[in-house]
């Protein structure tokens, strides 16, 4: 091959392969798939936009202060609100947190620091993941079998127990990973100064891991606040206030926002359906605020 | 004099002194408490199995295996069977997984394979997280008042033109399998997207660069290199999403129509195990409670098996990567 022929050959290859030819089969396939994945991503965003739009339009129309201070209406009654359901949701999520957070954080301390590789920890991690995957309605069945059948009444504590079982795995798993990411140097420095293991945990690990632990706790709270299935037949529903003259009457059926939405959505009355939309809006705003707060705390850590 | 003062100060600051007996006591008791926390979780899982199993025992004794294959649920005649519910649970979850899994994996590819500038990617990531944050009862309400009415004309058209295909064998008269599965798919999507994203991110960057270096287009690299490399993790994501769909309750209880029949049609009403529990528990008599506990145990067994398989696949995929 003469030098001239090599040059022309190289020139030809350069001009054909370095130019963009969008309709060549390989490039076309690439382009179509890219368009397809864009379409899929935009389609996946449609439900969110639609849900939020309906919430604002149908729920927002009914939004007023009376919603927060009045009791749910009966059959053909007009007006009304869901003040007692908001109180009920807060009380039951609070009870769930009171039970699950201390147990969860203690267990996470053991899993992350005291015996991370022990047999006990490995079994517990597996058990926790199993609990994460357990359908939420089954935590309700559990609380029904253990609390409702024992005490003989639907009640706020029964709902709280069901929510606690639901929150526990989230708290444990996030707290464990938050404690684990504390740098080893920090730990070693504390041990080097002669701290006992508990002192290291209380004075170094927990304060350092606190943002991560809080993020997990708030995610668990947000999830629990929106859960309906565990409350359906543990707390049931009520059209009365949980507090009677400032005295809590816990051992009786208790209202919650989620169960109110479910009950009212199925009613043939326009007033109740409007209230279900307004309650959904309030619930979603509550859940989103907790979510945003948890993300904010998580970001400050990084 | 001065050194003496200093020494007393140092002793007062507890750090350099050996731990006092109180410190030892606090240390011991705190460690015992942490261990107790771990035991509480294990006992709780055992207690859950025991309490549901114990209450289900009488139902199991009286109805046996026939409970799983019988199709009637009649409280008046004391006849109970959950075959339609098992069918409905599996069918709706599979449909939801087909739709939600496809969009979930597409979303994961979209977010991890450099299609977007970081800020726009963050927007889509937030959308997926918000989809997961909305409570299922709100999806149920939205389904009732938006998805069902929107779907009805399309369902009627499909039934008229393609009624001979079993999937379109009935009209959509209200709630039914199709709207329920569609809403379920939306709830499965975030799980699949999140876990698949992790799987795709764990593929070393060099692998993709090697593919690009050999002259592949972006999609050739994704389809022939990235997806096969992350396939175990993505499969695990699909199994976990399936597990999530099996146990989902509220949206289905509101949208599936609660009719105990076995039908391939997408537009006929059906029922699921979780919806059965949600609807019948609040007003159940003592006899029905025993039977419902049996149904709860069946649901627990199905979800536990599916989730354990999912977790095992995830462990396998991360272990293989270490090598």
H or E element, residue B80: strand B79-80
In a domain, residue A77? The reply is yes
Domain check: are A39 and A129 in the same one?
no
- C-alpha closest to that of A205 among A302, A112, A107, A104: A112
Cα distance between residue B101 and residue B196, in whole Å: 10
pLDDT at site B165: 83
The rounded percent of chain B whose pLDDT value lies above 70 is 93
Kindly indicate the confidence band of residue B28, based on its pLDDT and cuts at 50, 70 and 90.
very high
User: Left (φ > 0), alpha (ψ -120 to 50) or beta: where does A194 sit?
Assistant: left
Residue A1 lies inside a defined structural domain of this protein: no
Nearest CA in chain A to B109: A37
- Taking residues A221-249, report their average pLDDT: 88
Tokens representing A239 are: 């059209």
As a residue count, chain B comes to 323
Distances from the Cα of B315 to the Cα of A169, B132, B231, B232, B310, angstroms:
18, 24, 13, 10, 9
CB nearest B133 (choices: A138, A198, A291)? A291
Residues A53 and A195 in one domain: no
Domain presence at residue A160: yes
A205 and A234 housed in the same domain: yes
- Tokens 């001065």, located at residue: B2
Q: Is residue A172 part of a domain?
A: yes
Chain B residues close to A103, C-beta within 8 Å: 37, 40-41
Are the C-beta atoms of A57 and A45 separated by less than 8 Å?
Answer: no
Domain boundary among A8, A37, A60: A60
The reported pLDDT for the residue numbered A75 is: 78
Nearest Cα residue to A85 out of A259, A286, A221: A259
**Closest by Cβ to B27, choosing from A111, A146, A196:** A196
A55 and A72 both lie in a single domain: no
Q: Is B57 a residue whose pLDDT tops 70?
A: yes
Locate A143 and state its tokens. 């609380």
pLDDT given for residue B5 in this prediction: 47
Tokens of B113: 């394979």
- pLDDT bin (cut points 50, 70, 90) of residue B8 is very low
- Domain of residue A242, CATH code: 1.10.3720.10
Q: Tell me the average pLDDT across A88-102.
A: 96
Q: Measured between alpha carbons, how far is residue A167 from residues A227, B25, B153 in Å?
A: 11, 31, 41
Query: Rounded to 10 degrees, what is the CA torsion of B97, B103, B106, B112?
Result: -90
Among B26, B40, B110, whose Cβ lies nearest the Cβ of A198? B26
Round to whole Å and give the CA distance between B249 and B254.
9
Is residue A146 situated within a structural domain?
A: yes
Give a yes or no: residue A289 inside a domain: yes
For residue A243, name the pLDDT band (cuts at 50, 70, 90): confident
To the nearest whole Å, the CA of B289 is away from the closest chain A CA by 10
Q: How many whole angstroms separate alpha carbon A234 and alpha carbon B85?
A: 23
Let me know whether A108 and A136 are in one domain.
Answer: yes
Q: What integer best gives the mean pLDDT of chain A? A: 89
Rounded Cα gap, residues B291 and B59, in angstroms: 5
Distance from CA of B256 to the nearest CA of A (A): 13
User: How many domains are there within chain A?
Assistant: 2
Cβ–Cβ < 8 Å for B107, B132: no
| Residue B2: pLDDT band with limits 50, 70, 90 | very low
pLDDT of residue A16: 55
Query: Mean pLDDT of all residues in chain B?
Result: 88
Angle between helices B231-247 and B286-322 (to 10 degrees): 170
Q: Residue B115 burial (CB < 10 Å; 0-12/13-18/19+)?
A: middle
B13 phi-psi bin (left φ>0, alpha ψ -120 to 50, beta other): beta
Q: Is residue A6 part of a domain?
A: no
| Same-domain check for residues A54 and A165 | no
Q: Report strand pairing: B73-74 vs B79-80.
A: antiparallel
Distance CA B317, CA A47 (A): 32
Q: What stretch of H or E contains B271?
A: none
* Residue A144 sits in the same domain as residue A226: yes
The 10s digit of each residue's pLDDT in B104-126 is: 999 999 999 989 998 999 999 99
SS3 B74: strand
Name every chain A residue with its beta carbon within 8 A of the beta carbon of B220.
26, 30
CB atoms within 10 A of CB B157: 11
Q: Are residues A40 and A189 in the same domain?
A: no
The phi, psi pair for B73, rounded to 5°, reads: -130, 95
Contact B182, B147 (CB under 8 A): yes
Same domain, A188 and A228: yes
Among candidates A217, A200, A189, A12, which has minimal Cα distance to A97?
Answer: A217
User: Do A157 and A127 fall within a single domain?
Assistant: yes
Let me know the angle formed at the C-alpha of B247 by B242 and B248, rounded to the nearest 5 degrees: 95
**Taking CA atoms, what residue in A is nearest to B248?**
A135
CB distance B142–A54 less than 8 Å? yes
Tens digits of per-residue pLDDT, B171-197? 777 889 999 999 999 999 999 999 999
Tell whether the model's pLDDT for residue B24 goes beyond 90: no
Residue of B nearest to A148 (CA): B282
CA distance B67 to B80: 6
A276 interaction partners in chain B (CB closer than 8 Å): 141
Instruction: Dump pLDDT digits (tens) for A98-113.
Output: 999 999 999 999 999 9
| Mutation for testing the B interface, residue in A26, A50, A130, A133 having most B CBs under 10 Å | A133
The pLDDT confidence band at residue B64, using thresholds 50, 70 and 90, is confident
Which chain A residue is nearest to residue B40, measuring alpha carbons? A103
pTM: 0.89
Complex ipTM:
0.89
Is there a single domain that holds both residue A158 and residue A244? yes
pLDDT, tens only, A44-63? 999 999 999 999 999 999 88
Using the structure block, give the residue that is written with the tokens 């389904």: B143
**pLDDT above 90 coverage of chain B, percent:** 61
Residue A12 lies in a domain: no
- What is the 8-class DSSP label of residue B202? T
Give B-chain residues touching A110 at CB under 8 angstroms. 34-35, 37-38
A-B C-beta contacts closer than 8 Å:
259
pLDDT at B213: 93
The structure tokens 């350069």 sit at A14
Asked if A199 and B138 come within 8 Å (Cβ–Cβ), the reply is no
Identify whether residues A231 and A285 lie together within a single domain.
Answer: yes
Which among B250, B274, B309 is the top mutation candidate for probing chain A, defined by the most A β-carbons within 10 Å of its own β-carbon?
B250
Residues 6+ apart with CB under 8 A from A118: none
Minimal CA separation from B110 to chain A, in Å: 6
Contact A162, A98 (CB under 8 A): no
Q: What is the pLDDT of residues B232-261, one digit of tens each?
A: 999 999 999 999 999 999 999 999 988 888
Nearest CA in chain B to A196: B27
For A280, residues 6+ apart whose C-beta sits below 8 A from its C-beta are A55, A59, A261, B137, B138, B141
Res A12: pLDDT: 52
Q: Which long-range contacts (CB under 8 A, 24 or more apart) does A81-84 make?
A: A81/A275, A82/A255, A82/A257, A82/A260, A82/A275, A82/A278, A82/A279, A82/A282, A83/A241, A84/A238, A84/A239, A84/A240, A84/A241, A84/A242, A84/A255
Chain B residue numbers with beta carbons less than 8 Å from the beta carbon of A161 are none
From the list A41, A202, A262, the residue facing B250 with the nearest CB is: A262
Predicted local distance difference test score (pLDDT) of residue A220: 94
Q: DSSP character for B213?
A: H
**What secondary structure, in 3-state letters, does chain A show?**
CCHHHHHHHHHHHHHHHCCCCCCCHHHHHHHHHHHHHHHHHHHHHHHHHHHHHHHHHHHHCCCCCHHHHCCCCCCCCCCCCCHHHHHHHHHHHHHHHHHHHHHHHHHHHHHHHHCCCCHHHHHHHHHHHHHHHCCHHHHHHHHHHHHHHHHCCCCHHHHHHHHHHHHHHHHHHHHHHHHHCCCHHHHHHHHHCCCCHHHHHHHHHHHHHHHHHHHHHHHHHHHHHHCCHHHHCCCCCCCCCCEECCEECCCCCCCCHHHHHHHHHCCCCHHHHHHHHHHHHHHHHHHHHHHHHHHHHHHHHC
Of the three residues A6, A38, A60, the one that is the final residue of a domain is A60
Please list the residues that pair with B73 across neighbouring strands. B80
Kindly state the average pLDDT of the residues A173-196. 91
Residue of A144, A158, A159 to mutate, interface with B, max B Cβ within 10 Å:
A144
Domain with A45, as residue range(s), is 23-60
Q: Kindly list the residues from chain B whose CB atom is less than 8 angstroms away from the CB atom of residue A168.
A: 41, 44
The reply to whether residue B45 touches residue A127, judged by beta carbons under 8 angstroms, is: yes
pLDDT at A84 over 90: yes
Helices A270-301 & A257-265, crossing angle to 10 degrees? 140
Please report, rounded to a whole number, the percentage of residues in chain A having pLDDT higher than 90.
67
In this predicted structure, which of A24-33, A113-122, A285-294, B9-18 has the lowest mean pLDDT?
Answer: B9-18
Question: Which residues are within 8 A (CB) of A146 and not within 5 positions of it... i.e. 6 or more apart?
Answer: A161, B47, B51
């Amino acid at each position: 091959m003469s030098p001239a022929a090599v040059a022309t050959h190289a020139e030809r290859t350069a001009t054909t392969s370095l130019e963009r030819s969008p309709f060549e089969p390989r490039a076309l396939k690439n382009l179509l798939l890219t368009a397809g994945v864009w379409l899929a991503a935009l389609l996946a965003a449609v439900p969110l936009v639609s849900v939020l739009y309906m919430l604002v339009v149908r729920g927002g129309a009914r939004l007023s202060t009376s919603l927060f201070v009045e009791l749910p209406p009966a059959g053909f009654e007009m007006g009304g609100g869901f003040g007692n359901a908001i109180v009920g949701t807060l009380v039951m999520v609070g009870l769930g947190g009171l039970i699950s957070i201390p147990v969860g954080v203690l267990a996470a301390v053991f899993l992350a620091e005291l015996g991370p590789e022990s047999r006990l920890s490995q079994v517990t991690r597996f058990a926790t993941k199993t609990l994460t995957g357990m359908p939420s309605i089954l935590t309700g069945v559990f609380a029904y079998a253990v609390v409702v059948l024992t005490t003989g009444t639907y009640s706020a504590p029964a709902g709280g127990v069901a929510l606690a079982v639901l929150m526990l795995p989230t708290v444990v798993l996030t707290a464990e990973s938050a404690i684990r990411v504390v740098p080893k140097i920090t730990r070693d420095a504390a041990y080097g100064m002669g701290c006992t293991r508990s002192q290291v945990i209380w004075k170094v690990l927990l304060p350092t891991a606190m943002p991560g632990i809080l993020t997990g706790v708030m995610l668990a709270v947000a999830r629990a606040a929106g859960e309906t299935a565990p409350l359906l037949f543990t707390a049931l529903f009520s059209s009365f206030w949980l507090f009677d003259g400032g005295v809590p009457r816990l051992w009786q059926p208790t209202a919650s926002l989620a169960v109110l939405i479910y009950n009212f959505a199925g009613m043939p009355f326009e007033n109740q359906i409007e209230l279900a939309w307004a309650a959904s809006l309030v619930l979603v705003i509550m859940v989103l605020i907790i979510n945003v707060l948890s993300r904010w705390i998580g970001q400050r850590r990084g | 004099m001065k050194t003496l003062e200093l020494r007393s100060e140092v002793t007062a600051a507890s750090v350099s002194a050996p731990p006092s007996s109180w410190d030892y006591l606090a240390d011991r008791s705190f460690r015992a408490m942490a261990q107790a926390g771990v035991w509480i979780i294990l006992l709780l899982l055992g207690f859950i199995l025991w309490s549901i199993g114990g209450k289900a025992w009488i139902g199991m004794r009286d109805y046996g295996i026939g409970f799983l294959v019988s199709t009637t649920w009649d409280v008046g005649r004391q006849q109970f069977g959950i075959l339609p519910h098992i069918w409905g649970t599996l069918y709706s979850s599979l449909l939801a997984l087909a739709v939600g899994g496809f969009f979930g994996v597409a979303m994961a590819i979209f977010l991890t394979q450099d299609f977007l500038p970081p800020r726009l990617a963050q927007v889509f990531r937030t959308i997926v997280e918000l989809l997961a944050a909305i409570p299922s009862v709100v999806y149920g309400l939205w389904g009732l008042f938006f998805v069902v009415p929107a779907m009805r004309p399309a369902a009627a058209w499909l039934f008229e033109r393609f009624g001979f295909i079993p999937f379109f064998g009935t009209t959509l008269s209200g709630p039914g399998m199709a709207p329920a599965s569609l809403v379920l798919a939306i709830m499965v999507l975030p799980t699949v997207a999140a876990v698949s994203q992790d799987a795709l991110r764990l593929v070393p960057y060099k692998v993709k660069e090697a593919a690009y270096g050999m002259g592949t287009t972006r999609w050739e690299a994704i389809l022939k290199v990235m997806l096969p490399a992350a396939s175990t993790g993505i499969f695990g994501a699909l199994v976990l999403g399936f597990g999530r769909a099996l146990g989902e309750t509220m949206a289905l209880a509101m949208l599936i129509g609660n009719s105990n029949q076995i039908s391939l049609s997408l537009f006929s009403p059906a029922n699921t195990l979780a919806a059965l529990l949600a609807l019948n528990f609040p007003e159940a008599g003592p006899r029905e409670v025993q039977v419902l506990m049996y149904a709860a145990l069946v649901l627990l067994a199905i979800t536990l098996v599916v989730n354990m398989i999912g977790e095992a696949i995830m462990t396998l995929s991360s272990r293989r990567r270490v090598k």
